[in-house]
Chains A and B, each alone.
Chain A
Amino acid sequence: MDGRQPCRWCEQSFLRKSNLLQHERTHDACARTLPTSSTLEADCRPVGGVSPPAPIGRPGPARPRVSGSPARPDAPATGSAATSSSVVDSADGVVAAPAPTLHSLPCLTRPVIFGHATERVWQFYKKFPDMERTRLLVRPAERVLPSRFVTEEHKRMRLFALSAGGSGLSQKGKAEYWESTVAVERAAMRMAAEADVRRKKRKRGKNGRGARVKVEVHPGPLESAFPTASAFVRSLKGEQNRCLSEQRWRETEISVRDKVYKFFSRDLMEVATEALVSATKVVLRGARRWGADGVRVRTNTLDSDLYLTEQEDVVRMHGGKTHKGMALPVFVMGVQLFSDAALVSWNGGTSAILLVARSFFRVCSNYPAALCGRTCCSDLPLTGLTDSDTFSLFCYQLAPSLYFARALQPTWSIPSGFAFPTSRRESRSG
């Protein structure tokens, strides 16, 4: 012997004990990743349910295991190759392990992982208790009252108070907004009341002059709905809760390295169902489009290569299903995600240089392998100028100024929201 310590699971030997222990952890990790139904796991199982497993085919005393066990002693026997090949010594009832063969070795030196990558990735994230820590942002205990903003004027005031400046007015700003609006409303109501009094015919008294009619000023629509500024502010807060409750916003506490991060989200499938069910026109199938000259035309997501490939895949897997005796149409519900950590599209920017984007995507679209199939490119309305026109214009007019000035000169600006809406646009739509 040269002093090397052999691994009891495979043929390798190591000079140092630490290296051996590190190597044996590989087998342990392999055993943890093995599914129950795996044939290889059956090979790893100790013969006759003896635990801990005896060193297979190696003379000498059994070494204690370092940590864990690649075998599962409590697992039922399934008639595996290891079980069938085991030999029972009738004299003392001790189970003799079979001779080590390549197939009976529990694992290779490198971890062998079974199962599809998709399932393993999902199992990896199911281990985290994030979904258990997810709760609705507005708790059911917080009673959500019906909205008091019922008239059109109220709704406009609500929109202004909640969206002015992007994130809405402050608490003090909302109160001042109510006070100024109510002051104008009171003046208007008083003028209306005085006009009513003037129109009324005075009753003539004994002296020939009628008694003075008392002017009654009624509260306006805003003051009658919200008598005080605090009531207005409170109602706006209630609107926020009502909106969050209706849209089912959730709050998740994600714990990473002893720090807790709060994540606010909605369920994507709920949003998708709401959008599809409430839509008046939904396109279920995409199709390839061809131009007049026989060239493939890609205009949007539904005729992109990626979507059509997925469509063929989905129809192949789910086609032919029935629902209550009727054929069930199958379609690919395309999902487009957009996140912007750099906040370029979120910082109030409203324009971009069209030509840069056009030239970039035009150039890229000539390459068959990569970007031409990307749906982002096909979403852009690339019409109008031809390739050579756009390219030449960019080269001779814009590029030098960009190069020397090193600053974007918005010679030809477009609203950036044509493909990805900015916050301003979103707040308007909301």
Chain B
Amino acid sequence: MVYPIRVRFPNVETGKSEWVTIGYIPAIKHKKGATKAEEEVVRLVRGEVLQRCLAVILNQVVPDSKYGVTMHLHEHGTVLAVPRIVLYACDQPEERHVLGMKLSGCYYPCSYCKEHSSTLACPSMGAAPRDVPRTLDEQLEAGTLRAAGERPGRVKELGDWSSVSPIVPVLGAVHGLGTGSFSLFDIFGFDTLHVSAVSIFLARLICARVFLSLFSGTFESLLFVVCVFRRLTAPHFCSRFVVRDLSPGLLLLLDSPRS
């Protein structure tokens, strides 16, 4: 079983401007009745295969993103094109896989910032955004140690420290993501179909807001009640929705003064 990876070039206005399939990534699933340890192994293998597939696809993009490539266009003549990845559309679990981060059971489930999982559904505590070079360094160290079969304690420590799995994200090798503007964590966007899949959770929040607005009309009361509600239903909230599906979206929804 495979699943496709597609590419699109927004500079093309008239011509091949649709999505073009450039690869079929093997989908790896664990067998039914697998133990936790076997599931963990399969998860690591899946992440490694995904990264190496991306490395094959990006084999020429990585050097070209540094030096550029000349090409002759009909309208503009000879130009220097510097490829830069500006969007990776996927869902949130795949985002975590591509970035080489843990999907669940970690302290920092947000890929964008280092908001602690205990404060995810609360108003933002002002967590700092993730540092791209530092995260890559930690992932490199964890990946190297795991490949050598050494120091599992250190690998676990790194995983606890920044919620990274011992998988090195190959997107960090592309210039512009791991250098320059360091936009490695900014390029991810959600597919509309995936967004609609989490609408039940959105509906819960919005119903709560509607209910509260009938009485108070203030957004602060909503925050308070949602936080209390979250505390009461923490396991369900965290593991099912906040961590896996919509951690940035939830923060946005709660922090946005407009909403």
Number of interface residues of A (CB under 8 A): 120
| Segment at the interface with A among B32-40, B134-142, B225-233, B234-242 | B134-142
In the complex, the answer to whether A263 meets B24 with C-beta atoms within 8 Å is: yes
Most buried by A among B91, B203, B210: B203
Residue of A nearest to B91 (CB): A342
Chain B hits for A338, CB < 8 A: 5-8, 19, 87-90, 191
- Complex Cα distance A402/B204, Å? 9
Contact B15 A336 (CB under 8 A): no
A321 within 8 A of B: yes
A334–B90 CB distance below 8 A: no
Closest chain-A Cβ to B23's Cβ sits at a distance in Å of 4
Distance A254 CA – B21 CA, assembled complex (angstroms): 20
CB distance from B98 to the nearest CB of A (A): 8
CB of B106 closer than 8 Å to a CB of A: no
A125 in contact with B55 (CB, 8 Å)? yes
A266 to chain B: which residues have CB within 8 Å? 22-23, 57
Q: Given A366-B259, A408-B199, A429-B18, A29–B82 Cβ distance below 8 Å?
A: no
Q: Given A271-B22, A343-B3, A366-B259: A306 and B11 within 8 A (CB)?
A: no
Q: Is residue A421 within 8 Å, beta carbon to beta carbon, of the partner chain?
A: yes
Taking a contact as CB atoms under 8 Å apart, the answer to whether B180 and A313 are in contact is yes
- By beta carbon, the residue of chain A nearest B23 is A265
Interface residue? A241 (CB, 8 A): no
Q: Is B218 an interface residue (CB 8 A)?
A: no
B188 touches A282 (CB 8 A): no
Contacts of B257 in A (CB 8 A): 366
Any chain B CB within 8 A of the CB of A283? Answer: yes
User: Distance in Å from the Cβ of A378 to the closest Cβ of chain B?
Assistant: 9
Whether A334 touches B9, Cβ cut-off 8 Å, given contacts A121-B140, A276-B73, is yes
Bound-state CA distance A343–B29 (Å) is: 14
The interface size bin for chain B is 35 or more
Q: Is the CB of A335 within 8 A of B61?
A: yes
Q: Are B94 and A340 in contact (CB under 8 A)?
A: yes
Residues of the A chain whose Cβ atoms lie less than 8 Å from the Cβ of B207: 395, 399-400, 403
Least CB distance from A182 to B in Å reads 33
Q: Which residues of A contact B105 (CB under 8 A)?
A: none
Which of A124, A371, A373, A419 lies at the interface centre, i.e. has the most chain B CB atoms within 10 A of its CB? A124
Q: Once the chains bind, are B193 and A264 in contact (CB under 8 Å)?
A: no
Q: How far is the CA of A90 from the CA of B178 in the complex (A)?
A: 52
Q: Are A353 and B199 interface neighbours, CB within 8 A?
A: yes
The residue that B195 contacts in the complex, of A117, A283, A360, with Cβ under 8 A, is A360
B182 to chain A, nearest CB (A): 10
Residues of chain B from 61 to 91 with CB closer than 8 A to chain A in the complex: 61-62, 64, 68-91
A341 with B3: CB separation less than 8 A = yes
Tell whether, in the assembled complex, residue A402 and residue B26 are in contact, meaning their CB atoms are under 8 Å apart: no
| B213 smallest CB distance to A (angstroms) | 9
Chain B contact residues, majority secondary structure: mixed
User: Chain B residues near A332 (CB, 8 Å)?
Assistant: 11, 82-84, 86
Q: With A266-B22, A339-B3 as given contacts, are A374 and B183 in contact (CB-CB < 8 Å)?
A: no
Smallest CB-CB separation from B71: which chain A residue?
A273
**Those of B235-259 within 8 Å (CB) of chain A:** 248-249, 251-253, 255-259
Given the known inter-chain contacts A122-B62, A402-B203, please indicate yes or no for A281 contacting B13, CB distance below 8 A: yes
Indicate with 1 or 0, residue by residue over A369-405, a CB within 8 angstroms of chain B CB atoms: 0110111110110000001000100111011101100
Q: For the complex, what is the distance from the CA of A130 to the CA of B58, rounded to whole Å?
A: 12
Contacts of B255 in A (CB 8 A): 367
CA gap between A273 and B112 in the complex, in Å:
32
Inter-chain contact A333/B252, CB cutoff 8 Å: no
Whether A341 contacts B253 in the complex (CB less than 8 A), given A125-B51, A282-B11, A333-B83, comes out as: no
A318 touches B55 (CB 8 A): no
> Which residues in A have their C-beta under 8 angstroms from that of B56?
130-131, 134, 250, 252, 254, 263, 265
Choice from A130, A282, A304, A318 contacting B75 with Cβ under 8 Å: A282
- Is there an interface contact between B143 and A339, defined as CB atoms closer than 8 Å? no
With most chain A CB atoms within 10 A of its CB, the pick from B8, B61, B144, B196 is B196
A124 to B174, CA, bound (A): 13
Judge whether B220 is part of the interface by a CB distance below 8 angstroms.
no
Residue among A334, A341, A353 with the highest chain B CB neighbour number at 10 A = A341
Residues from chain A with a CB closer than 8 A to the CB of B132 are 117
- Check B16–A278 contact: CB distance below 8 A: yes
Q: Which residues of B contact A282 (CB under 8 A)?
A: 11-13, 15, 73, 75-76
Q: Which of A270, A284, A364 interacts with B76 by CB under 8 Å?
A: A284
The distance in angstroms between the C-alpha atoms of A310 and B85, with both chains bound, is 9
User: Is A69 an interface position by the 8 A CB rule?
Assistant: no
Q: Report the Cα distance A36→B138, complex, angstroms.
A: 23
| Cβ contact within 8 Å between A426 and B94 | no
Question: Do the beta carbons of B25 and A339 come within 8 Å of each other?
Answer: yes
Task: From known contacts A125-B55, A336-B87, A337-B6, infer whether A402 and B200 are also in contact, taking CB-CB under 8 Å.
Answer: yes
Alpha-carbon distance A358/B200, docked complex (angstroms): 15
Binds B, one of A6-14, A232-240, A323-331: A323-331
- Listed from nearest, the 7 A-B pairs whose CB atoms lie closest are A376-B189, A279-B15, A265-B23, A118-B178, A122-B173, A301-B10, A366-B258
| Residues of chain B at the chain A interface (Cβ within 8 Å) | 2-28, 45, 48-49, 51-53, 55-62, 64, 68-91, 93-94, 97-98, 112-113, 132-133, 136-137, 140-141, 143-144, 150-151, 168-170, 172-176, 178-181, 183, 186-197, 199-200, 202-204, 206-207, 209-210, 248-249, 251-253, 255-259
A-B contact pairs, 6 of them (CB 8 A): A29-B144, A279-B17, A279-B74, A282-B73, A334-B86, A344-B191
Chain A interface (Cβ within 8 Å of chain B)? 22, 25, 29, 111, 113, 116-122, 124-125, 128, 130-131, 134, 250, 252, 254, 256-257, 259, 261-284, 300-302, 304, 306-307, 309-310, 313-314, 318, 321, 323, 326, 328-346, 349, 352-353, 356-357, 359-361, 363-364, 366-367, 370-371, 373-377, 379-380, 387, 391, 394-396, 398-400, 402-403, 406, 408, 416, 419-421, 426, 429
